[in-house]
Chain A
């Protein structure tokens, strides 16, 4: 009894305290503590990250980063003779006059920008001319007039350009290479601009016209938005620097920056609408008796509304440069493909560009449906899916690939046949023969897809060759291969050769998976296989991109396209691309041709879903479209460089590429754009700047394991639980 009392007491105490208080009190506290600690750490990190970020943003700040149109920038406080590598430009010169003219032919625009600036200050300045080039464009001419002096930019062979450059350096002249500030920012240094001197810059570049959703569009940068950042004080410049920036800010605000635009638009096809979402414009046809692109076809004539070139101007003559100029135009709807031909004659050689526009699906739903019906009746397809299941596809890539595949299966038509090949170090196919679409085969295929998982190496050759050859067997059906991979291959050359040498090659469509697939390989493979390349960056895009691809390839708008000339013998014809791909929805087709003699007309033959298709356009002697030779040269260079891929002799390729590049002033990997100063009295030339070459945008890979956070929280938890157990042991022993 006596002994029992303390026990009883203890148990009561125990019960009341441990059961009702301790478990309730301690658990929330523990959870709360951990949350608070982790939360606090995260917050601390974030503010730290932001601060560091901000600092680094400030470090790289310069007016050059904010250039929204052509501007002449200089540094007020930098002594003239000092050629500092990381000099900042903090003041923009007064822009007096801006003019831009556009010569648009089909899908290419030749843009000429002319700008005059005035050195307002009372001192000699070194300045930099900067112009933000649109994507997909390349400068091919530059002229700078500074009083008597002239700077002319041209394309030169790389090694020669280097020599000229070195020579100038040796002779004591100051020459420096450009720094990369921003992608596609064209910069050119101009030295020794006298006080109150006026300089005029004329820049010519070629730009590709965007074509999306049956709409052509062109953008011209003319946006001056000097962003004043009060914190952007350079540690070296201190107060002075910030004052200079303020000056620059107010200076450009005072600039009367008006621009005059003139556009000549030769779309080549009848237009339904021309508009500008950014500015008010006026359009009127260019009246010229030489315009006579009358096709023989009656149907074509009936739809022709404004097939003649149009001139476009701003309704107010000029406008303030405060936003980019955008011009959009749309071809009048047509249920059949449309053909346009542009032509330029240089040195007794004729350059022609044939553009084939796909029909618009949005055009009259009834007709559309009818076309669909017919095409699904007539175009039966053999589709082979090839899916990469190698180790590099692990994680989200294989999920995306499987989803794409499952999605694709659901869109097949009842009379299509299909097969699936999965490969890593070895390969297996779901069926021994291509299967018609029915419930059974779909179920079997789904089962096959679901059991796939990423593992092992990448052996692409055998499965690809199987896909390319087996689908080549069989009747008149369209053969398509859809190749889903991240392109982690090392034997590219071998694979290109395989694709190149396969007879009766099916259309090859590549689908790149993951954040950074080997897009070079896949783009080229698709090009050789006369198909397209689709990139799926993340899981959310699967459905959208696959729908786009599958609807596009479900019905080629026009296939087996070939060109003929009248008269038949016009001398050697150089045509690029040499293998003409099929015309698919949403992608206009361009074919560039060079002939010795001007043909009287160009005929294009092709096959629609259920009938032949044929157009003829006669060429008019007087009609000239500028820039066609440039486009041809570009196409030729691309074709020649592709030769490298299939194992042509590198030296021969280099020679021919260089020749074309220099003759047509088109940039290539072997040449560079150099501005040479041509002083009137001395024949000495001083190279100034090299133009920025276009950068390619690549998505970033994922670069964190993220093991530390769970590791440390694990440690915290472990320490806590051990501590708790110790305490419990102590309690128990007490």
Chain B
């Protein structure tokens, strides 16, 4: 074991900032990260053991104990549940013979829940040893478990490959792209490398001006003007600058980056190279969520091809001194790493805790140097803007939101998948396009966004009205909105909070408990007032976007579906502690074989 760990650390040149990679490789080679490995890593990297444990225990996909020869990570997002996850989970438990968060007695199969894996258009889905299994049914589970018992390689358990590149030699996945609407920006035809050729005839300042003129705004959700971000970064003093691409799409219901990375990764890498040119950066890092590890070989192969064709590397496209290369940094299961400064921390080998601002990443980012972190879709837009001009780009969309947006649609609709639409589309029109009928609610922008009802369907998707990072979940009338959706989202935030800020760590739990009190029929009128007041405390008191929006599931459903809460409220009494004495003593009564006498 020592040899394995030593070899891995050597591969990363004893660099402690590559601790994530070292842990990822150790986990993949040994199957888990044993205590001896932790000690070895700490010793060689000159870290304390607790430092290594700090990073290791932050990420969901790292484990300090064996997780099974086959580790099944079944998505437990809202959409997965809608599509029949409960039956699938039950089938897994029955076939494997153990519950979730456990490993079968023979150590062969481990069952785990995991947050949204970016497959909301083909749920229920699971990741088994890095390979994605979609559209699971109890019957399919039987076959999969039989194959695992027989010791089959996960890659040999299926032959129904997905469309387009999913079927290519380096991916061979059953994932499908489900591209439902090809828009004018991302899906327009172009010759790869042509934008870069044009860009190198311009000065970096001219490139930044063009991006500024396009009014392109960050597509991750926050909507910060991209040109301005680049300008700030370029003006910041530093020894070196970095371009980072945020491909940690963890917002439940989002999967558009999965499609971009599968369908046109070269567009993305060209965008990164253009950013590199504009910022005079030499290094680019693609921070890719662990759930998309199945794309690793494919993406690395493309990066290599780009190096060989002089579109990455030194003197790119023949331009003297234009040197830029890209490496992929994988995450290991942490939603909060989609926050740009947490992403940077993670890429430096640390726990993904968002940083305090100032300084901003454009001033002191990766390795304390000026860094631009852009979303995948943003960088793809950059290429088309440079090719066709800012004027062409601003013709599309609305005043404050130019261009198009890629939306991931999932849930109760006929045509789940990705849609490239112009900003400013009415939600009603969008719902018609995706074949949604009998709609109860729409979750725009994922759990951190808004839960809206019919009254709001006349509103539009754009930064000035309903901004979204790209997730749209349709919730039909047959669903229990508060129990199946709102509660699930709250549990998601509790699980994914880094835990640093007190309100985000503690109040999320308090809010979920309060919601449960109401759901269990113990709610009184005052509970709704308190719920609202406490939710509002979250908005500004936390450091990062996760904490600031973690109360949104309750806050927006309370605003738009108050009647659903009120139905559950007991209006006759003023106070209910919500404490169930018989339930509280049930366990101890059972232990001493007594019947509660209350």
Task: Indicate whether A and B interact.
Answer: no
